[in-house]
Amino acid sequence: MRYYSQETGRGWYWLDLASYLLLSLALAGLLLQAPVSQQLPIWLAIGAGLIAWSLLEYLLHRYLLHGPPPFLDWHQAHHRRPRALLGTPTAISLSLILLLLFLPAWLLLGRWPASGLLFGIVLGYLNYSWLHQRLHQPGRPPAWLRRNYQNHGRHHQGREAGFYGVSSVFWDWVFGTRLTPLPSAQSQTLADRPPA
């Protein structure tokens, strides 16, 4: 699969985030126009979308990115070069989200709950994308990010399999892949850490 490259330039990387940010704003605008009778189902769907994203993030990372080739090969590039701008092209990720998540939700739940679900998933993805990028920047992370930083650093050490959740350790706890975080004394950034 040489025709697919995970590495993007800075512009394409930020365009991906901007695309999802614009989608979230468009969905927020749409949801504000929903009938009053749909407000509770929408809020429940947004919550379900946030939970669904965290589970999806965990499952994709554990079973796809640390699973079969070529996905494992692509993800190992991230472990070798954690500051490189690697990601799935927006056209692919957005198509998969729309076809595999939004369309079935629309058919099963209707327009408003499906839009709420998509909004929650997109918000979860934006949080994950920003957080993951921040965890790989040089310098000490702010105090409120230190636990995520220690957990993700432990994942990148690669000595034991675990900490597949980046934005949450909840599913690592549920599925038994939570590890002991890196000690606070190891304040070297993930960006400066030698490859695993």
Q: What is the mean pLDDT of the chain?
A: 86
CA distance 142 to 159: 26
More confident residue, 14 or 169: 169
Residue whose pair of structure tokens reads 């900490």 in the numeric block = 163
Which pLDDT belongs to residue 5? 55
State the CB neighbour count (10 A cutoff) for residue 107: 9
CA distance 37 to 143: 42
CA distance 178 to 109: 34
Residue whose pair of structure tokens reads 């790989």 in the numeric block = 136
Which pLDDT belongs to residue 55? 98
More confident residue, 23 or 92: 23
Q: Quick check: 135 and 142 in contact, CB under 8 A?
A: no
Cα angle 33-35-40, degrees, rounded to a multiple of 5: 105
- Residues 150-155, mean pLDDT to the nearest whole number: 87
- Residues 152-162, mean pLDDT to the nearest whole number: 85
Which pLDDT belongs to residue 190? 55
User: Roughly what angle, to the nearest 10 degrees, separates helices 39-59 and 111-135?
Assistant: 40
Provide φ and ψ at 189, rounded to 5°.
Answer: -70, 160
More confident residue, 186 or 166: 166
Task: With a cut of 70, say whether residue 127 has pLDDT above it.
Answer: yes
CA distance 13 to 15: 5
Does the model's pTM come out above 0.75?
yes
More confident residue, 7 or 58: 58
Which pLDDT belongs to residue 158? 73
CA distance 53 to 109: 18
Q: How confident is the model at residue 79 (pLDDT cuts 50, 70, 90)?
A: confident
3-state secondary structure of 89: coil
Residue whose pair of structure tokens reads 């004394």 in the numeric block = 185
Q: Which range has the top average pLDDT, 47-56, 87-96, 183-192?
A: 47-56
Task: With a cut of 70, say whether residue 184 has pLDDT above it.
Answer: no
3-state secondary structure of 195: coil
3-state secondary structure of 138: coil
Q: How confident is the model at residue 60 (pLDDT cuts 50, 70, 90)?
A: very high
Residue 19: burial class (beta carbons within 10 Å; 0-12, 13-18, 19+)? middle
Q: How confident is the model at residue 4 (pLDDT cuts 50, 70, 90)?
A: very low
Q: Which of 18-22, 33-37, 86-90, 110-114 has the lowest mean pLDDT?
A: 86-90
* Buried residues in 63-79 as b, exposed as e (16+ CB within 10 A): eebbeeeebeebbbebe
